[in-house]
Every structure is written in structure tokens, then in C-alpha cells.
Structure 1
Amino acid sequence: ISAMPSIRESPYGNYVCHMFQESSWADRSPLHEAAFQGRLLSLKTLIAQGFNVNIVTIDRISALHEACLGGHVACAKVLLENGARVNAVSVDGITPLFNACCSGSAACVNMLLEFGARPQLENHLASPIHETVKRGHRECMEILLANDVDVDQEDPQYGTPLYVACMYQRTDCVKKLLEFGASVDLGKRLDTPLHAAARKSNAEVVNLLTDYGANLRCRNAEFKCALDLAAPNSTVEWALLLREGPATLTQLCRLCIRRCLGRSCLFVVQKLHLPEPLEKFLLYR
């Protein structure tokens, strides 16, 4: 048996995106190996020889899990076309879609969805959108959101996608989530995204959140607001102090309009035939 590949980091406890545990490594089939290494010809040959595409290890890891973790879209497609279960779940609650998000393969994510993968998963399964945000795979995140994944889906342990984006300082993801209508003050229980941004000393994210109407006075379980968490004399503290006064009338108007339009704002504003400067103002562009 060849050397075990390195285990990738995951935010979900002690399991990883693929879970190469010794217990499952020994019972991996040649189909698993071909899928993981992206050997398309070998995979096709094994399937033609009668290998079951849904064979799983003791941890219920399928060859489709392997192909998606490696971002091998051609291998994943062959497996799916031959009947691989698109929503197969490992013992740790990992799906092929989660692994595709882990690898950052937008092509794999799109194909899995075309074959019926469920983008909005139950609480006991690992959340693809939280994983893709944590890793900064913005394209995969946008695909999930376009397929009706709840932008405010709250993981009991990790909070909302916006909170995860702030925790891992994924500024591009923060901006896109806000554009898609993420609730700016929903985080992890009483801890808001603004708390996370202040804790991480990220002034750019702090400014983004406050532009979208984040409440500076929200207090977490320790009864602290974002300003209490900012490092003294830092750019974050300065940014928060600048926003402590009343918002401008133009900013209040923008927030009011966006609140009325709701999550459809991103798409509706462009259909209103507004003057270009006003449209850009409402869309933060």
C-alpha cells in the first residue's frame, strides 16, 4: 500500500474532508484509488470489469467522495453516469458535495447539483456552504447560493456563513454574502459577524459590515460590543469610533430601500431602470 496522503484541515471537529483513517484505508478498493488519483481510464476499465460504483469503505466513503475531494470532474461524471449515489453520506456526515466544496472545484459542484445533490443539508450533516466559505472558495459559494441554499443557514457549532467568513477573514466572501442579502447581525448565537471582524482586527471587513448596517451596540454573551474587542489604537478601533455617531441620511435611505426589497435587492434594483449612480449606490458599487 502506498503512503497515506496528507490529511486536510477541516473546521468540523476531528474529521476531515475525506477522513483517511487507518480503519478505512485498508479496505479501499481499486475503484477508490483510481477515483482519488484521477485516473479516468483505469476507472472506466474497473467499472467495465464489474466493480460496483457504490462500494464503500468501513467509514462509508465512496469512490465519488474520492473523486470530488480531488476535484476530478471527469471521474466524478463517469461514476455518476454509472449509478453512483450523489447524496452518499459517510459515517461523519460528509457528502460528495461537501468534498467538492472542500476542494474548491466549481465544476464538480455544478455537476453534482445537476445529478440531484442536495445543497441544503440537514443539521447532522457537514454543511457545504460553511466549508466553502471557510476556505474562501467564492465561486463554489455563489453556485450554492444560486441553488437556494439559505444564506443565513446557521450551523449550531459554527454560526452563519457570514460569521465564518469574518472569522476566517474571507473578505470577498463577506462582500458576496452581504450582496446576496445575508443578515448582517446574525452570527454565532449572541456573537455577531462584527464581533468576529473586530476580534480578528480586520478593518476592511468592519467597514463592509457597518456599511451594510451592522449594529455597533450588539453585545455578546460576555456583554461586550465590537468596540470592546478591538485592539487599542488600532485601525479597527478607529473605524468603529468613526461609525459611532448617527448614520447619514443617504445611508439611512439606502438601508431602508434595501430592507424593503429584501434579499431580492441584488436582482430587483437592476430592473428598476434607475439612474446609474443611484443603482450603483444601492448595490454598493
Structure 2
Amino acid sequence: MVLRRPINMSLVDISKIFSMLQPKDEEEDDGERRELSQAVSNDDDKLLAELLSQERYRRFINSRSGWGIPGTPLRLAASRGHLRCLEVLLARDAEVDSLDVKAQTPLFTAVSGKHLDCVHALLQAGANPNGSIYNNCSPVLTAAREGDEDILRELLQFGAEVNARSKVPHWASNASACSGPLYLSSVYGHLDCFKLLLLYGADPNYNCTDEMLLARIKQPKTVLEMCLRHGCGVEYVQLLIDVGANVYLPTLIIEKTTKQNEAVELLLKERACPKTLMSQCRLAIRRYMRMANKMHSIDRLDIPPILRNYLNHMT
């Protein structure tokens, strides 16, 4: 009896999930869903537009269908990278942030599929650059992990949270704090994404601005520590130093690897030599811009190009 109960409960739960995915009585169709999905699958934007000009098809534009991960036609277009169909659906007022059964938005699936043009179109149409609050991951985390610099830049330009972190349970707090986009881009060796995140104001110490979360962790690992542990090399450490990472925070654990030794030497040198006044001015200006949520506006400042380049760490 005791052994069978969890199995029965699981079957009940599965039945409930499948019942939720079935169309409601008032949504029963005569194949309209299938035809819409087929048009999107074939990237036939002309047929799709013709179908959606009819009310009997238009009422299913936001209906979920399909096997595997049932989703809307917009999700299907985004996941396949079918830009023309995606634009037709958006022009017919398809719900831009509709969720599939995994709480993923069309934008999230476009990012996962590396479809930059679809990502841009969805963001232009008002898609939330942070994805869904109900999903444990986010578009920024995915792009940082995969090393998609162009997609990551697109997300950040549309206001995505640069200190995004996965929504893991409270008991896994340490893993949660160490799973921001900076951590991921460094561990997976995506230097361009790492630099881009820092330029858009990612916190260089913990990549986490949740003070309550950090307070629950006995020894949170800084981004510098993670870079040293994973042998990321001097480029990562130099970038962190340049954007104002606290060089006194990490506990140094010396291992016999050339890359790490070079990075540690750089870190120790920075501890011994304070920053120049010019560097401190740059940090102060960038800190103010970040607090005002204006990091993306540096390129539009009415100052000489050489100063704009300096603020962007290009000189």
C-alpha cells in the first residue's frame, strides 16, 4: 500500500497535466490549429496570412497545440527561426509573451535556437527581455552560457537584467548566487560575452544584487575566485579589475597552472598598487550611470569620442 501510493499520485498528476493541455469545449476546432501550425512549420507566410484573415482561424492564434512541448504558433515560429511567419503573427496581434507548458516565452525559444532576427523582432514588438518570472532560467542566462554575443547585446539593449540569476530553491542558495551570467560566461570561456556584461553594468563581485540571498550564504564565491579556479586567464581578471571588482575579496588558492599563476600575479600587483585618479573617475561615472540605469546611453553623451571610448573601456 505504502509503495503504491506515490505511483498512483504520480499518475493522477500526469493526468491533470494532460487534461490541462486539452482544448476547452468552446475551443474545439475542425483542424484550424493543425493548419496554422503546418503553415508555420513550412514557413509559408502567405498561407498563414490568408488563414489569419479568416475569423475561424484567427481565434486560435494564441492556442497551444502540438506534441512534445505544446505551444502557440508564435512559439513555433520563434523556435524554428521562421521570421516571416513570426512577423505575420505579430502583425495579427499574437500574444508576444505567451507561455508554453515549461513557462518559456517565444523570445526564450528564439534565444535558445540562436535566431537573432527573431529575437530582434520579438523585442521590437514588446517582448519582455527577461522572459517569464515562472521560468527558472532567462534569455540572458541562456545567451551568456551559449556565448551568443550578438543576441546578448540585443537583450541588454532592450533593458534585460544584467545581474539575472536562476531561480533555484532557497536551500541551494550558494548555487543560485554563483549562476549569474558573468559566472556562466567565464566558466564556459566566452570572453566577449563576459566583457559585454561588464560594460552593461554587471556586478563584478558577485553578479548578484540580492543582499538577502548573499546574507544566507556563509562564503559566497566572487567572480574573481571563479575565474581563478577555472583558469580563465588574465583577460578575465584584468577586465574585472578595470571595472572596479574588489580585489581584496577573493581568497587566493594557488594551484600549479600557468594561466592561474599569471592571473594571481596580476591580482596581487593590483592589491599593491592603487588605481590612478583617471581610472577612479571612470569607475565613479560608470557607477552613476549604472545607478541611473543609463549604461546604454554612454555612446550618446555629448563628450569627445576619446572620452566615450575610455568610458567604454575601449582605450
Task: Give TM-score scaled by structure 1 length.
Answer: 0.75
CA distance in 2: counterparts of 1:124 and 1:284, whole angstroms: 36
**Is 1:87 aligned to residue 115 of structure 2?**
no
Which whole-Å CA distance do the structure 1 matches of 2:118 and 2:301 have between them?
A: 32
Code of the aligned partner of 2:256: P
Partner amino acid, structure 1, of 2:104: I
Q: Deviations over 1:164-202 (max 9, x none)?
A: 222222111111111111111123652222233223211
Check conservation: 2:298, 2:308, Cα contact below 8 A.
no
Partner of 2:266: 242
| 8 Å contact kept, 1:37–1:70 | no
Identity between Structure 1 and Structure 2 (%): 28
Equivalent residue letter for 1:194: L
2: CA distance between counterparts of 1:48 and 1:264?
42
Amino acid at match of 2:79: L
TM-aligned CA distance change 1:265 to 1:140, over 3 Å: closer
* Alpha carbons 2:107, 2:131 under 8 Å: kept: no
Give the counterpart letter for 1:213 in structure 2: G
Whether the 8 Å CA contact 1:36–1:69 is kept in 2: the answer is no
Change (3 A) 1:266 1:246: farther
Q: Within 5 A, what are the aligned runs for 1:30-41?
A: 30-41=35-46
Q: In structure 2, what is the equivalent of residue 132 of structure 1? A: 143
Alignment partner for residue 163 of structure 1, among 167, 171, 183?
A: 183
User: Which residue of structure 1 lines up, in the alignment, with residue 197 of structure 2?
Assistant: 177
Matched, 1:108 2:108: no
AA at the equivalent of 2:274:
A
Pick aligned residue for 1:150 from 135, 148, 161: 161
Cα separation, partners in 2 of 1:167 and 1:79, compared to 1, 3 Å: same
Paired positions, count: 252
Alpha-carbon distance between aligned partners in 1 of 2:49 and 2:77, rounded to the nearest angstrom? 13
Structure 2 stretches lacking a partner, 5+ long: 1-20, 22-30, 169-175, 209-213, 215-219
Structure 1 residue identity aligned to 2:237:
V
Contact conserved, 1:206 with 1:236, CA < 8 A, in 2? no
| Higher mean C-alpha deviation, range 131-140 or range 172-181 | 131-140
Residue segments in structure 1 that go unaligned for 5+ positions in a row: 1-23, 220-224
Question: Structure 1 residue 63 and structure 2 residue 73: aligned?
Answer: yes
String of CA shifts for 1:211-262, please: whole Å, max 9, x gaps: 222223435xxxxx3x32x642322222222221333425445434433444
Instruction: Return the alpha-carbon distance in structure 2 between the equivalents of residues 98 and 231 of structure 1.
Output: 39
Q: 1:75 maps to which residue?
A: 85
CA distance in 2, matches of 1:176, 1:32: 37
Q: In the alignment, residue 144 of structure 2 is paired with which amino acid?
A: V
Counterpart in the other structure of 1:255: 283
The 8 Å contact of residues 80 and 86 in structure 1, kept in 2 or not, is answered as: yes
Give the Cα–Cα distance (whole angstroms) in 1 for the partners of residues 305 and 92 of structure 2.
52
Higher helix share: 2
Partner-residue secondary structure (3-state), 1:29 = helix
Specify whether residues 114 and 271 from structure 1 end up closer, same or farther in structure 2 by C-alpha distance, changes over 3 A only: closer
Q: Which of 257, 267, 273 is residue 233 of structure 1 equivalent to?
A: 257
2:310 alignment partner in structure 1: 281
Report the Cα offset of residue 54 of structure 1: 2.4
